[in-house]
Amino acid sequence: MSDVQTPARRFSITPGDFAREYGVLTIIVILMIGLSLISDSFLTARNLLNILNQSAPLAIIACALTLVIIGGGFDLSTGAIFGVASVAAGWIAVHVDPYTAIIAGPLIGLALGTLNGAIITGFGVHSFLVTLATSLVYRGIAILITGGALIPVRIAEFSWIGRGRIGMVNIAVIVLIIFMVIFMVLLNRTTFGRRVFAVGGNEEAAILSGIRTNLIKIVTFSLSGMAAGLAGVIAVSRISMASPQAGIGMEFEAIAAVILGGTSIMGGSGAIWRSVAGVLLMALIGNGFNILNVNPFFKDLTTGVIIVVAVALAASGRRSR
């Protein structure tokens, strides 16, 4: 569940290390205690499950984006892939088959993410520039699919993944938990995961060690695209409407959550569970402001300040080491 650590650090954790490892959890606990004292409606099973359900698509994207950032990359196209997968799944559900649409969304995202990785490694261009450019292309494709219009998708065989429940728990939350566990195992218990850390920590050393760094990068971007596609399907299923504008700004929210979770923006360190915690922290801030009926401007302001503090703590931790 945690980063790759050197033996010495296991016996000596500095305040900077603690802030990076557990800072987001500490803030979540403090926030939950404060909101519980202020509002009787906050600490209820219904409200907490609603927060998890609303956060599921963003958390799924953040899980996969963590791999990209640990590997030294940056993906600004997840919001656009989310939009393309959303409208494509909606169109397929209406005109072809709803079950095919649920499968097609992640596969479309996988293909677009793979294209990102192939361009980045093939031309040796920084991932920031490539994904910024492809995000514009993907957004254009989403508009071409729909002609700029919305696609209503009111089909029971399609809506179960976004609206269905098992007991009190939404299926989307169950999908998120399964997805998170798979990615935690992939990152921390497999050779692939160790190579992702190696590529992000020191790419030249990884190449000298015989690691096929380009292949590792392509796989991380492919998984990021697949996650955005799956998130898009869940979102369309939930609201029964596919929009070419869906996912605008979502890439920045996912990046913010990953950074809040303490994953190094420079690559080489990070953890899946902390990125999900980052998403939940942002959701708790939003939920708290809604409960207290505070101006939404202060929500963005508060989230921005917390992100700046998180980045400053992470930078301080690196300097202290």
Q: What is the pLDDT of residues 245-258, one digit of tens each?
A: 999 989 989 998 99
CB 238 within 8 A of CB 102: no
* pLDDT, greater one: 73 or 288: 73
The two three-digit tokens of residue 80, written as one number? 């656009």
CB 216 within 8 A of CB 71: yes
Q: How many domains are there within the chain? A: 1
Quick one: pLDDT at residue 6? 44
24 lies in some domain: no
189 lies in some domain: yes
Is the Cα torsion angle 264, 268, 273, 276 positive or negative in sign? positive
321 lies in some domain: no
Quick one: pLDDT at residue 317? 60
Amino acid (1-letter code) at residue 240? S
pLDDT class for 27, splitting at 50, 70, 90?
confident
Tokens 């959303």 identify what position? Answer: 86
Q: Of all helices (H) and strands (E), which one includes residue 165?
A: strand 165-166
The answer on pLDDT for 1 being more than 60 is no
CB 117 within 8 A of CB 171: no
pTM for the full predicted model: 0.91
The answer on pLDDT for 148 being more than 60 is yes
236 lies in some domain: yes
145 lies in some domain: yes
Could you tell me which of 27, 86, 40, 92 has the C-alpha nearest to residue 61? 86
The answer on pLDDT for 207 being more than 90 is yes
64 lies in some domain: yes
Query: Mean pLDDT in the chain?
Result: 89
61 lies in some domain: yes
Range of the domain at 78: 55-291
Q: How far apart are CA 163 and CA 157, in angstroms?
A: 11
pLDDT class for 56, splitting at 50, 70, 90?
very high
